Structure 1
Amino acid sequence: MSTPSSLRMVPARVLDVGGGTGVHAEWLVKDGYDVTLVDPVPRHVEAASAVCPAVVGDARELPESDDAFDVVQLFGPLYHLPDPADRRRALAEASRVAKPGGLIAAAAINRYASLFEHVTYAHLHAERIHDSVSKILETAVYDGARGFTLSYFHRAEELVAELVASGLEDVRVFGIEGPAWSLVKAAEQQPGDGPTEDLIASALAAARLAEPYPELLSASSHLLAVGKVAAGIDS
């Protein structure tokens, strides 16, 4: 017997801001979500169009109407916007297009990620790398001179503060990889078969165990903050 149309679940609408070629949108679509993607790079949008509706746009001025989405995810814009005013605009735009009570999920690169990562490559002691990482720790900004793009690196408490300042409620922050990710990455760099299944399982267990303890967030490579848009007041 088919489900009456009035009882069918309407999929949540998700706006994937800075979604690139659709790497995150693809699995959301497969799980039944109604996804729209926005990215500033035309060739990314062209590729993502094979996954979901996709348009060229800027996180600071979204080409979407007010109160249109149940979830807005920014899995890149905040760390590609080193100017705090630009990050505020991106978060304000995400809140504008989200429904009252909707969720905003924003990713950030951890301030200390480059220090941990370059230890795993065993070249942090090299003068050029050492000076570059030292500057990131001091200024929170990478200038994009070599390898990676211009980027901003957050501390966990700073990321929470930015979401709260934008008016979001019930903000929580998670360490995406957890405190043992660098051990797995170091094992990948060594000769041989790479990290064992037991090491990967242990790293996942460490990530889950660390979630209630904010002081362990600084050991993760990336951070994910989730907040709720304030619900409207009925007249």
Structure 2
Amino acid sequence: MLRPEVLDYYQRGGEHHRLTAGAGRLEFLRTWDVLTRVLPAAPSTVLDVGGATGVYAVPLAAAGCAVRVVDPVPEHVAHAATLPGVTAVLGDARALPAASGAADAVLLFGPLYHLLSRTDRVLAWREAARVTRPGGVVVGATISRFASFFDGFVNDRFGDAAFRPLVEGALSDGMHRPSSPDRGWFTSAYFHHPDEPAAEAAEAGLVVQQRLAVESPLWMVGSRLDEILASAERTALLLEMLRQVEAEPTLLGASSHQLTVAVVAGAAASS
């Protein structure tokens, strides 16, 4: 289901802690803030595709949702299955192990990163639509085409001669192809131009409602971000202000991640 280097990357366990500090924590807080506003009210059934170790499944279950994680990494599935209120199964986003219309919402947080062909990404969107009831919501997360370019300067990666060709490849065609896993860089992935996710979802038959910048350019402020997130008051202000600009098209490419919110067409969608 996964390319060998992608499976190896996730079997190292980085997803357990990636969203707990700095830019990762901002990604989590912003994504969760969006989910609380766009998902159907609990009790609802949520299929968390690419849900890894259950970072979002845990708060969704605590909020009263019936959450099922579908992930291609056995270690992720084993961990997610131990979480309260969460079930988990090994599966592929292109052929989901769920009946048509079984879910009120589907999250594609991860699959769209690692499906390198547009055909496969559209298939993942189409499968999400198939298993979601009419009027239900599908939310897909994608990585910005420009993320590695910005990250290279923020984290001083251009000192490695192999990094510039990696960035230039992504800028050219969206393909992030690291030459070696030993450098600790993100694994093989597709980095979307801001306009692409909505086009892929629409091709799959979904009705796109929102395109939202997750972190905005603030993911690049370094240690200053840790200072902000250490204060509950400043964190609340940050989230409040980011809601005001999250749909601004000119910020989408400067955000490390983008969320595309779509609904499944049907009678319930207009109610």
| Residues 105 and 138, structure 2, Cα contact 8 Å, conserved in 1 | yes
| Residues 175 and 217, structure 1, Cα contact 8 Å, conserved in 2 | yes
The equivalent of 2:103 in structure 1 is 69
Determine helix, strand or coil for the equivalent of 1:228: strand
Post-superposition offset of 1:31: 1.0
Give the alignment partner of residue 104 of structure 1, picking from 135, 138, 147: 138
Q: Residue 14 in 1 paired to residue 52 in 2?
A: no
Give the alignment partner of residue 128 of structure 1, picking from 157, 162, 185: 162
Q: Residue 30 in 1 paired to residue 68 in 2?
A: no
| Residues 105 and 227, structure 1, Cα contact 8 Å, conserved in 2 | yes
CA gap 1:112/1:49 in 2 versus in 1, 3 angstroms: same
RMSD: 2.2
Structure (1/2) with the larger helix percentage: 2
| Residues 178 and 204, structure 1, Cα contact 8 Å, conserved in 2 | no
CA–CA separation in structure 2 for the residues paired with 1:10 and 1:89: 28
Report the residue type matching 2:261 in the other structure. Answer: V
Report the residue type matching 1:12 in the other structure. Answer: S
Question: Bigger shift: 157-166 or 97-106?
Answer: 157-166
Report the residue type matching 2:265 in the other structure. Answer: A
CA–CA separation in structure 2 for the residues paired with 1:226 and 1:212: 11
Percentage of matched positions with identical amino acids: 40
Determine helix, strand or coil for the equivalent of 2:156: coil
Post-superposition offset of 1:156: 1.5
CA–CA separation in structure 1 for the residues paired with 2:213 and 2:42: 31
Report the residue type matching 2:147 in the other structure. Answer: A
The equivalent of 1:228 in structure 2 is 263
Determine helix, strand or coil for the equivalent of 1:23: coil
Post-superposition offset of 1:186: 5.7
CA–CA separation in structure 2 for the residues paired with 1:85 and 1:170: 18
- In our comparison, the structure showing a higher alpha carbon Rg is 1
CA–CA separation in structure 1 for the residues paired with 2:242 and 2:161: 32
CA gap 1:99/1:48 in 2 versus in 1, 3 angstroms: same
Equivalence map 1:143-162=2 (5 Å): 143-146=177-180, 147-162=185-200
Post-superposition offset of 1:115: 1.1
The equivalent of 1:210 in structure 2 is 245
| Unaligned 5+ runs, structure 1 | 1-8, 189-193
Give the alignment partner of residue 40 of structure 1, picking from 72, 85, 88: 72
The equivalent of 1:173 in structure 2 is 211
Determine helix, strand or coil for the equivalent of 1:104: strand
Question: Bigger shift: 160-169 or 120-129?
Answer: 120-129
Post-superposition offset of 1:170: 3.7
Aligned length: 219
Q: What TM-score do the two structures reach when normalised by structure 1?
A: 0.85
- Alignment deviations for residues 90-141 of structure 1 (CA, whole Å, 9 cap, x no partner): 1111010000110000000010111111111123365322221111111201
Post-superposition offset of 1:232: 4.7
The equivalent of 2:22 in structure 1 is none
CA–CA separation in structure 1 for the residues paired with 2:94 and 2:127: 6
Q: What TM-score do the two structures reach when normalised by structure 2?
A: 0.74
